[in-house]
Every structure is written in structure tokens, then in C-alpha cells.
Amino acid sequence: RKKMGLLLLLIICQCAINSIKTHSVSKPNIILLMADDLGIGDLGCYGNRTLRTPNIDRLAEEGVTLTQHIAASPLCTPSRAAFLTGRYPIRSGMAAFSRVGVFLFSASSGGLSSEEITFSKLLKQKGYATALIGKWHLGMNCESSNDFCHHPLSHGFDYFYGLPVTNFRDCKPGQGSVFLKGVQKDLVIPIQIAGIALVSLAIVQYIGLLKVPFHALAYFLLIITILLVVLIFFFYHFRHLNCFLMRDHQIIQQPLSYENLTQRLTKEAMQFIGRNTDTPFLLVLSYLHVHTALYASEKFKGKSKHGLYGDAVEEMDWSVGQILDVLEKHNLSDKTLVYFTSDQGAHIEEISSAGEVHGGYNGIYKGGKSTNWEGGIRVPGLLRWPGVVQAGASIDEPTSNMDIFPTIVKLADAQLPSDRIIDGHDLLPLLQGKATRSEHEFLFHYCNAYLNAVRWHPGNSESVWKVFFFTPNFSPEDSNGCYDSHVCFCHGGFITRHDPPLLFDLSRDPEEKVPLTPETESRFYEILRVLHQAVDNHTRSLHAAPNQLSWDNLLWKPWLQLCCSSLFQSCYCDYESGGSPLQAHLG
């Protein structure tokens, strides 16, 4: 009887231990920290020795460092869509067939479709408090200025505090206008053609070669004038119309003020954590750093060794430290999975009008933002969860920012959608050391909606093969980016096609310096055959989705414009200062 009692006690104890273990990896708090345009070489934990990032480095020391963590796209909008849905952006219509691959205006009608299932929706259904603080960049309205069909609150977030679009140079006075520079190139020829046509019609009318009704000329002139007035108005008020801060559905600061902006975002994040210490929560803190226009508060300005860019990185690191500290304050560290990444690689072509480098450092990797060279898509991937995830471990297996979706959905005890393909894979087995190989045998790299490259990590090999079907034409030719056009593009004269495709083995040549040939790689054609078959299988899995980045969905639509006062008051308000819009305008 004593033996039976002892055995029963041992069984009960084991069951209790198993229950505790199960509970420890069930329904944790989730904090997802996403930088904007941060280079993998900008962080100490990835080899940087001059920028100070002790708090981000702490995540690496106390958690797992992913050294081959891949963004699903080298541009903001599609990468963030893939992150939220766990799916390649081509599946959700968030990959452009035109030159422009991201949303540029707050009053565009495109955005992340309501048909898409985000991890925030699934976690909210499981009782999580959910918040997005910072940059959104996935659309706002569809048919009216208050339908908010693409708004974060329509995609599973309970709370939103941040920017609906992104941080442009145009948002900060004195920082120039990348946007206007690009538009000027595209508008010069149409305006010249319209002007020549108008003058020609007037001349032939005057000399009597052709009789053009006067009212036709007048209408033509009127249309041209109206279009020019609208364009001038839009560009003059670009900052007010596109750079503003929202809380939920309300604009609280228009235009955006950069004064202590990182501190405000951080305070909002800390307060959200403080409000939810007794309930599981999902916090997505999407930094504006280090997208241009660069900014830093007085405490950090001029303190780094890398100018304003370095100041911004170090200020973001401070913010990460504040988040980690508030977790410790509320005894939540052991109950919280923290993830840090960037939406894509550094924008190396960013150089200020004064010649100061405003783009980051992608380490040894080629290219940067807007390209599928490793510098554009290999991003930081840090995950910390004390007691559950390995501490100080480094994993060199191919992983994706799409993997966060199935990882946290499973941790929240939610079910993955069964009516669609989820391209991400659960990271937990890798993070806990229970698996040594990534489930990603293939990863497909799109340049907008065009399949650009494919990565293959065979199960029986350490090699990571990567083929390019086309590559961007760098300008100048001997440079590492597209400096003449500010970003690289994906079609036409901006690219060079390759037949056969360029082949690299990233395990031996991570810098993508020397393409392999049949002479240097005996399995050259066999590797290409496998990769072409993978492309065929992948292509067959795609289904048509409404193109959210069509020209129609990208263009500015005045009736969708959000404005906290009125256009006649230049859409000006500042509720952040505690006053009314008019008081703020007058004061």
C-alpha cells in the first residue's frame, strides 16, 4: 500500500509538472518589435562595433539569434502584409504589378483586404488584448473617409496609436522630398506634351489650317488648369494630408510633430502593458526609426558615431530597454515572448541633400531595400522568452518573418486557418532546440508581383542554393544600389534577365559575389531543375486576389482624405498638446 501510495504521488507530481510546462508555453504575452529599414549590420549582436545597442543585444544574450531571417519582401507594405498574415503578399493582392510597390497617400483606397486573417484577429478571439503602436502602412479607407475598412481596428487590434501611412522625408520640414523628386520625373513629359498640344492647336487655329471650336480649347485649358491646381495644392499640403498621428479612429496631431515622438510611442506601449498585467496581450510596436526622415530627441542627438542615423538607432534601442524594464517591473518577463526584427534591409541609397549618409549598414550582404539580394531581405531576428526559448543560441537555418504568424497563433491556443495556404512555419521547435532543421525547404523572393529569386535548403545538405531570374541594374554600374532612382525597380529597362538564372550557394558565398556555372558546380543543371519544379508547384498554389496596389488603388482620392479640421484650415490640429484643433492652430 505504501508503494502504491508513493507511486500515485509520483504520478500526480509528474502530471502537475507537465501541466506547469504546458501552461508555460500556452497563452504567453506577445511583444513584436519591428524597426523600419534597419540594416542587419547596425546591431551589436550582429557584429556592429560602433553603434551602441545594449538593450537589443540583451535580447540576443537572453534568447535566440536567427542569422538567416528573411523578410517576405524588400519593401514596407508587402513585407508587413506578409508578417501579419503569414502569407506571401502575392496571395493577398499586396504585391504591385506597377512600379510603385507601397502606399504613398493616406487617401488611397487600397489596403489589406478584410478577407485576410491576421494573427491579431485570431489572438483577439482567444481573449488577448491587442494593440498596434507606430507605423501601419497597410491602407485606411475604401469608399468614404470614415469606413476605415483597412484600419488596424478592422484587422483585430483593440487599440491603435500611430501613423496610418509611413514616415516620409516630406513629413519633416527641411528634409527634402523624395516623393516630389520622383513625381517630377514622371510629370515633366506629360506636361510638356500637353503644353505643346495646346500651343499647336492655338497656332493652327490662328493661321486657319484647322478650325477648332473655341469652347473646346477653353475646356482643354480649363482641365489642364484644374489638374495643375490640384497637384500644386496636394504637394504644397502633402505634409498635412499624409503625415499625421491617430489614436484609434481619431486624428490627434496633424501634421505630425517629431518632438519626443519615440518617447510618446514608448509611453503608449508601456501604458498598454500596464493596463493588461492580468490578461494575455499582443503588442506590436512598429517603430518609425530608421526610415527617413531621420529624427532623434535632444537626449540622443549628436551622441552616436554615425550621425543622425546612429542617433536614431540608439534612441530606438533605449525604447526597447524601456519595454524590457516595464516587463520586469510587472513580473511579466517569464510570461512574455519578445521578438525584434526589421521590415526589410537598410535603404543604402538614402543620402541627405548635405551629403550625410541617412541609410543603414547591411554588413557583408549585397544590395539593400527594394532588392532581393541578401542585403535587402536578410534582417535581424531575435526572440526571447526566459525559461522556454534557448538563451544565447544562434540558428543559421532559413526562417521568415511569415513564421511569426503560425508561431504565436499556436502559442495562443488558436487554430490556423484551414481555408487558405499559410506560408510560415512554427518556430518554437527550432527555438527550443527540439528541431535542428528549418521547415522551409524553399523560400520565394518577389520583387513586387514578379518572382525574382528562389532559395533552396535541401534536407540532406548544408548548402543554401539561391537563383535569380533577373537582377536590378545598379546605377552607377559599379555601385551597390540604385542611387540614380533612389530605389531599384522590378521590370523593363530597370532589370537584367538571366537565362540560365544566376546561381549562388549562400553557405559558401553569402556575399553573392561569384555566380556558379556548370564548370564550377557539377550539379548546376540538376539544381536548376529542382528549383524550376519548385516554382511550378508554388505558382500552381497561387489564386487571383484583387490588386490592392493597382494605380486606381494607389492614387490620392480627395473624398477619402482624413482631416481633423477642414481643408480651409489646412487640416491642422494638435490634441496631443491638450487643446482643441482651433486653439492649437491659433496658439
- Strand, helix or coil for residue 284: strand
Name residue, grid cell 497563433.
409
Cβ atoms of 378 and 345 closer than 8 Å: yes
Cβ atoms of 369 and 74 closer than 8 Å: yes
φ/ψ of residue 538, rounded to 5: -65, -45
| Residue from 13, 15, 69, 76 carrying the catalytic annotation | 76
For the chain, state the CA radius of gyration: 26
User: What's the rounded Cα separation, in Å, for the pair 440 and 424?
Assistant: 8
User: What's the rounded Cα separation, in Å, for the pair 6 and 15?
Assistant: 14
Quick one: which of 82, 134, 91 has its CA closest to 400? 82
User: What's the rounded Cα separation, in Å, for the pair 140 and 332?
Assistant: 33
Cβ atoms of 98 and 550 closer than 8 Å: yes
User: What's the rounded Cα separation, in Å, for the pair 308 and 296?
Assistant: 7
Cβ atoms of 179 and 170 closer than 8 Å: yes
Name residue, grid cell 500500500.
1
Q: How many CB atoms lie within 10 A of CB 297?
A: 16
Q: Give residue 486's region: left, alpha or beta (phi > 0; psi -120 to 50).
A: left
User: What's the rounded Cα separation, in Å, for the pair 301 and 296?
Assistant: 6
Name residue, grid cell 508503494.
3
Residue 137 annotated among the catalytic residues of the structure: yes
Quick one: which of 2, 11, 55 has its CA closest to 33? 55
User: What's the rounded Cα separation, in Å, for the pair 363 and 107?
Assistant: 37
User: What's the rounded Cα separation, in Å, for the pair 301 and 297?
Assistant: 6
User: C-alpha dihedral over 86, 89, 91, 96, to 10 degrees?
Assistant: 170
| Residue from 69, 137, 240, 358 carrying the catalytic annotation | 137
φ/ψ of residue 302, rounded to 5: 80, 10
Q: How many CB atoms lie within 10 A of CB 92?
A: 23
Query: Which residues on adjacent β-strands are paired with residue 382?
Result: 65, 340
User: What's the rounded Cα separation, in Å, for the pair 92 and 544?
Assistant: 9
User: What's the rounded Cα separation, in Å, for the pair 527 and 509?
Assistant: 16
Q: Give residue 38's region: left, alpha or beta (phi > 0; psi -120 to 50).
A: beta
User: What's the rounded Cα separation, in Å, for the pair 204 and 296?
Assistant: 59
Q: How many CB atoms lie within 10 A of CB 392?
A: 10
- Strand, helix or coil for residue 435: coil
Q: Is 471 exposed, middle or buried (0-12, 13-18, 19+ CB in 10 A)?
A: buried
Q: Which three cell numbers stand for residue 463?
A: 548548402
Residues with catalytic annotation? 76, 137
